[in-house]
Amino acid sequence: MFENLTSRLSRVLDSIRGQGRLTEEQINAASRELRMALLEADVALPVIKDFIDKVKARALGVEITQSLTPGQEFLRVVQQELTATLGGTAEPLNLRTQPPAIILMAGLQGSGKTTSTGKLALWLKEREKKKVLVVSCDVYRPAAIEQLRIVAGNVGVDWFPSQVGQDPVAIAQDALAQARKQYADVLIVDTAGRTTVDEDMMKEIAALNAALTPIETLFVVDSMTGQDAAKTARAFADVLPLTGVILTKVDGDARGGAALSVRQVTGRPIKFLGVGEKSDRLEVFHPERIANRILGQGDVLSLIEETARKVDQEKAQKLADKLKKNKRFDLEDFREQMLQVQNMGSMQSLIEKLPGAQQIQAQLKNVDTEKQMRRTVAIINSMTRQERHFPDLIKAARKRRIAAGAGVEVQQVNQLLRQFEMTRDMMKKVASGGMAKLMRGLAGKLPPGMMPRR
């Protein structure tokens, strides 16, 4: 989502990073470029003004003008102010109440409320080990009720039935009674939306809020709407005691303005990001990590956390033990690594969290990495068990058979085998000399910014 904003800000910061000293003229010029970058990202004007004023005030102060590294200090100031604009620190869900904790989902139609309800239910179930019940109070669209039923089934949480024509408040109260009866920890209430803010919708959701007194009232907003997201958020905040925001469709081509605007406009923290269509694609919002990502510094902490959560630890340990015993890394292992990476989500979302992500994305601009991984797995699946364990057996005749079985050209089988050989060599380095030796081997092969500084 932040690709264009990152590109523009990186150019501004690169122009001053190496300066021995910064003049007021340079700071003003950099501030103008920052303003243009934020305008292009569709950030709300009051937010831009406040951000730029704070950056300039600090940049023209003693901490920059008398610094030995003013370019780096300016970057630090921008990073800190960006973090503050995004909310400062991550704010977790508040579930400290007598069960069931009630979460009310609010937002416009099409913002992703129902999908986010399912994602949040799964997140609570898997991360917080909570028993969750979900209910739809959208009595105007039968499809919305059915969608939530399907979503609840997919993520493995309980669903309370409702019907078109019922009173939304009565549905919510019945669902609450059921949640208490079955000792649910959390009740998530999915409310009706409209294509635009209207008085009837606001009255209805205010009545639901009054009847339920939820511990969390989350505003779900589509990040693709830019400045309009801030305006809609303000309208909801005027009627409801919002406690947080879920920003959806962050993996799309949104310009990033919503993330920078909503926090300051509503005064409420962004608590989650919807980063994909799958039910597990919900991330906790960490302002400092997002600020680093926007400035092209990556988000390695989130990447490590995601890897630890989604990689099969037992399989990873088996591979590590195998390499320690000097056993050969084969195509079966290679396929397993591809499947593990696929399980972590889109390559785009993984690359965005790496330092120097822009350079990597530029190199992969015309490469469909997901398609390549699927093709790699298909080619290996077309091999016999013996061929997977002993790749050196694969000669011309076998290559033709494998290519025909996978529906690809022989050339693509050759490419896979070359890629496998490179990976096998790296695995040998890991087994013989550890990660330090591997990183030395990679030096010079990765884009600038990828290698850690000593």
Model confidence pLDDT, tens digit, residues 107-165: 888 888 899 999 999 999 998 999 999 999 988 888 889 999 999 999 999 999 998 88
CA angle 148/312/1 to nearest 5° reads 55
DSSP character at residue 450: -
Amino acid, single-letter form, for residue 157: V
The pLDDT of residue 67 is 56
Contact 214/102 with Cβ under 8 angstroms? yes
- 301 assigned ligand-binding residue: no
Q: Is 53 annotated as a binding residue?
A: no
Q: Report the distance separating Cα 370 and Cα 359, nearest Å.
A: 19
| pLDDT at residue 329 is higher than 80 | no
110 annotated as a binding-site residue: yes
Between 3.40.720.10, 3.40.50.2300, 1.20.120.140, 1.20.210.10, what CATH number should domain 3-85 receive? Answer: 1.20.120.140
Residue 322's H or E segment, with its range, is helix 313-324
Distance CA 236, CA 104 (A): 13
31 labeled part of a ligand binding site = no
The matching CATH number, chosen from 1.10.3720.10, 3.40.50.150, 3.40.50.720, 3.40.50.300, for 101-296 is 3.40.50.300
Say whether 369 counts as a known binding-site residue.
no
Q: Is 190 annotated as a binding residue?
A: yes
107 assigned to a ligand binding site: yes
Question: Binding residue per annotation — 116?
Answer: no
Chain CA centroid to CA 340, Å: 18
Q: Is there a binding annotation on residue 95?
A: no
Residue 12 pLDDT > 50, yes or no? yes
CA distance 355 to 298: 4
Would you call 407 exposed, middle or buried from its count of C-beta atoms within 10 A (0-12, 13-18, 19+)?
exposed
Confidence of residue 223 (pLDDT cuts 50, 70, 90): confident
* Share of residues in the chain with pLDDT > 70 (%): 69
pLDDT > 70? residue 69? no
* 167 annotated to a ligand binding site: no
Domain(s) of CATH 1.20.120.140: residues in the chain: 3-85
Q: Which residue has the tokens 């995004």?
A: 86
CATH 3.40.50.300-classified regions of the chain: 101-296
Q: Known binder of ligand: residue 196? A: no
Backbone angles phi and psi of 262, in degrees to 5: -60, -45
pLDDT in the model for residue 66: 59
Q: Is 250 annotated as a binding residue?
A: yes
Burial 268-284 (b: 16+ CB within 10 A, else e): bbbbbbbbbeebbbbbb
Return residue ranges of the chain for CATH 1.10.260.30: 302-442
On average, the pLDDT of the chain sits at: 77
The average pLDDT across 179-190 equals 94
- 111 annotated among ligand-binding-site residues: yes
Best CATH choice for the domain 302-442 from the list 1.10.260.30, 1.10.1040.10, 1.10.569.10, 1.10.760.10:
1.10.260.30
* The pLDDT of residue 190: 93
